[in-house]
Amino acid sequence: MTSFKICFASSELAPFAKTGGLADISAALGRYLHDAGHEVRVFLPLYSSIDHSTLELRPVDAVRDVPLTLGGREFRFSIYRAEIGGPAVHFVHCPALYNRPGLYTTGGDEHLRFILLSRAIIESCQRMAWAPQIFHCNDWHTALIPLYLRTIYGWDRLFADSRTLLTVHNVGYQGIFAASILSDTGLGDSAHLLHQDDLAAGRINFLKTGLLYADALTTVSPTHAEEIQTDAYGMGLQDILRARSSSLAGILNGVDYAEWDPRTDRHLRYHYSPGNLAGKEKNKQVLLQSLGLPYDRQTPVVGLISRLMLQKGIDLLVQVLPELLGQRDLRFVALGSGEPDYEGFLGALQRRYPRQACFYRGFHTPLAHLIEAGSDLFLMPSLYEPCGLNQMYSLRYGTVPIVRRTGGLADTVEMFEPRTGTGTGIVFEDYDAAALRWALNVALDLFNDRRRWRRLQRNGMAQDFSWQRQGARYLEVYRKLCGVRAEVGMAEV
């Protein structure tokens, strides 16, 4: 088997630095590749919010206090390495840029934080004399790496055989900055390689730059790979994505069942399996009790865990939930934070229906696991969803997902057919209140049909989205990039 050296560049890594699914994927894909025998080094910032009390961080001698001048300002970075029993994690330490309350900021130097990350990753490889065959970049934060390798670091033969892959997890976040930051990029004479119309319009778009210069592109589900080439979903990048469609693949995210399985979940007091769902009912009791809502076996609990942003379809909930909670017997449990308007809506819903609805504002991983386990239904009415993880977690937890047919939701949830007993969830088509109302009513009615409901739950629990399946697709992309022929042939004959 060909073993690859993979430099995995990301702004998030679970459990250390997480705002969403990118963190889960960086951790799980990194681990899959490591376990499959590849040498993986994951790089991310050493954000001051990271709790590293349980980590043994070792300074990497070759990368200590390295000066890097960005737009006339000198920064210094060092690398700290942590062995976590999987891929080697390399934290980029640069307090001047990463000592902030959260992972991301709206500050005027946000671009510098990720320019530094991208260049520090490349310079660390140089100083460690480590030549990755693959630089696997993720989202806008590390999307300048492909261009940097062709320009500022193009002289270095260490990278002569390196190839770049950019995975787009969220096309809605592009890292668009004013062209006045041009000198901070350090591109100098190579600035003409940036998108010239953008520059003329006074912008630099990091994600777009990555789409132009990465050797290969992926996004996180097959349906979304098609969608982002259309005007409706491309967020302005559809023309470039269409032009590069032969280099673009949709690879569905996998699930790390070591973290997300109701049989073993370390965040749960009660474990359960498809053969014995008693523990699920107990988790429902614990969930409601801990949130101060009355428990009743017959009353379904609808869960939501979400970054409360436009993407996640909260607008539809605004139109549907207040009325529905007045009409039907259900509990609604929401966890998340984001747009103040959406937070305000969920807070008001709780005040209006104090015995039916609860909103926990914030980020809380143990509660996320308990909501997955203790809810009967899980809501993901997304406007767009590159992949989505919670619907796949829900399936495994016997929590029936209600999803809109878009992106990864379309690829992972199949509409339940009561007649044949096939399907894994409730799927609606149009992004409007009527469609969501219909889906919720269908789901609530089904909940009362115990026999069919059990069937639906078990269909979902039997789904397998493990990395064993999806990870192999990334390896195919790496092989193609490196010109390695697929390993069939003599050994197989």
The token duo for 299 is 């009353």
Regarding 22 and contact with ligand GLC (CB under 6 A), the answer is: yes
In angstroms, rounded to a whole number, what is the distance separating the alpha carbons of residues 69 and 185?
Answer: 10
- Report whether the peptide linkage leading into residue 354 is cis, meaning its omega lies within 30 degrees of zero: no
In angstroms, rounded to a whole number, what is the distance separating the alpha carbons of residues 107 and 28?
Answer: 30
Nearest-approach distance from CB 397 to ligand GLC, in angstroms? 17
Nearer to ligand GLC, 311 or 356 (CB): 311
Region near ligand ADP per CB under 6 A, out of 21-29, 99-107, 123-131, 155-163: 21-29
Nearer to ligand ADP, 195 or 364 (CB): 364
> Could you tell me if 163 and 133 are in contact, meaning their C-beta atoms sit under 8 angstroms apart?
yes
The Cα-based distances of 159 to 122, 233, 293 in angstroms read: 9, 35, 58
Judged by CB under 6 A, the chain residues 243 through 262 that form the site for ligand GLC are 253
Nearer to ligand ADP, 138 or 356 (CB): 138
Nearest-approach distance from CB 24 to ligand GLC, in angstroms? 7
The token duo for 393 is 């977690």
Regarding 205 and contact with ligand GLC (CB under 6 A), the answer is: no
| Of 217, 67, 61, nearest in space to 136 by CA | 217
Regarding 390 and contact with ligand ADP (CB under 6 A), the answer is: yes
Q: How many residues bind ligand GLC (CB under 6 A)?
A: 14
Q: Which of 24, 139, 215, 256 binds ligand ADP (CB under 6 A)?
A: 24
Helix then strand then coil, % of the chain, to nearest 5: 40, 20, 35
Regarding 403 and contact with ligand GLC (CB under 6 A), the answer is: no
Give Cβ neighbours of residue 241 (< 8 Å, ≥ 6 apart).
211, 217, 228, 229, 234, 248
Regarding 220 and contact with ligand GLC (CB under 6 A), the answer is: yes
Helix axes 21-35, 467-481, angle to 10 degrees: 80
Nearer to ligand GLC, 77 or 384 (CB): 384
Nearest-approach distance from CB 310 to ligand GLC, in angstroms? 12
In angstroms, rounded to a whole number, what is the distance separating the alpha carbons of residues 464 and 99?
Answer: 39
Regarding 21 and contact with ligand ADP (CB under 6 A), the answer is: yes
Q: Which of 70, 389, 402, 440 binds ligand ADP (CB under 6 A)?
A: 389
Q: Which of 7, 217, 268, 305 binds ligand ADP (CB under 6 A)?
A: 305
| Of 394, 397, 383, nearest in space to 316 by CA | 383
Q: Which of 250, 374, 388, 460 binds ligand GLC (CB under 6 A)?
A: 388
In the complex, which residues of this chain contact ligand GLC (CB under 6 A)?
Answer: 20-22, 25, 169-170, 220, 253, 385-389, 408
